[in-house]
A and B are shown apart, each in its own frame.
Chain A
């Protein structure tokens, strides 16, 4: 009987030629891959830009113990190819009832909350993101853009889908200010330690 743990690494970088070639997101994705291989995980991979089959992606999600989304932040969200991916994959998982049966509410039991109809309990999801935004723009009520909000707040449109299906969402990892004052080398170096902490490995 195989007890090998599995991780699904989704890289949703979208190439803009001569402007954003995807090397930074590839580097983080590669770091994660090496980390999980070292920890004897089987690694499943999806590069959204290269195409995918929504039903197969559902199966990969069902197999995986851990799911990680590697994404650049374009206009305060993942690239549009990710929203297309999420709409298609979660629609498939809903129609087949493999991800969830419904939104959790029932007429019989009014105490059951919206968002409790998922079937993916026990799995963990994490976002690793690259930002132009500097770290100082978050968690500070005096900042005009985010007005005190955190990275997790900004990423909630992504993480809510997983929570809706019963998946635990663990702390996101962020590489800030990538065009100016960021510490890309340091953020890459520290990434495995974050993975070790949030996944108890």
Chain B
């Protein structure tokens, strides 16, 4: 039996209340999720702002065939919570 392909979707938007709530990055993220579901992928997900375990993230990267980072550009890079990974 063929194993389904896996995609890891990482959303690293950082919320600034009343200024950047994450709706735009959430929308692109959702589009990607629907696309990969329609293509019969297993979806692995990480929302950096909600917390993560670094070792678990390593395992998710090892499982994934495709890794996508959804990020706003804040001061010419991903938000600092992304670099903390």
Bound-state CA distance A90–B79 (Å) is 13
Q: How many residues of A contact B (CB 8 A)?
A: 16
Contact A87 B76 (CB under 8 A): no
Chain A residue at minimum C-beta to C-beta distance from B74:
A87
Contact B80 A157 (CB under 8 A): no
Q: Does A161 contact B (CB under 8 A)?
A: yes
Of A75, A77, A79, A91, which contacts B77 at CB under 8 A?
Answer: A77
Q: Does B38 contact A (CB under 8 A)?
A: no
Contacts of A161 in B (CB 8 A): 75-76
Bound-state CA distance A160–B73 (Å) is 12
- Which residues from 149 to 165 on chain A have a C-beta closer than 8 Å to any C-beta of chain B? 156-158, 160-161, 164
Other A-B pairs, 6, CB within 8 Å; known A83-B78, A83-B83? A83-B80, A86-B80, A87-B74, A87-B75, A90-B75, A91-B75
Chain B residue at minimum C-beta to C-beta distance from A90:
B75
Residue interface bits A75-100, CB-to-B below 8 A is 1, else 0: 10101100110110011000000000
Contacts of B83 in A (CB 8 A): 75, 77, 79-80, 83
Q: Looking at the assembled complex, report how far the CB atom of A48 sits from the nearest CB atom of chain B, in whole angstroms.
A: 12
Contacts of A86 in B (CB 8 A): 75, 80
Contact A157 B79 (CB under 8 A): no
> Can you sample 29 A-B contacts with CB below 8 Å?
A75-B83, A77-B77, A77-B83, A79-B83, A80-B80, A80-B83, A80-B84, A83-B75, A83-B77, A83-B78, A83-B79, A83-B80, A83-B83, A84-B80, A86-B75, A86-B80, A87-B74, A87-B75, A87-B79, A87-B80, A90-B75, A91-B75, A156-B76, A157-B76, A157-B77, A158-B76, A160-B76, A161-B75, A161-B76
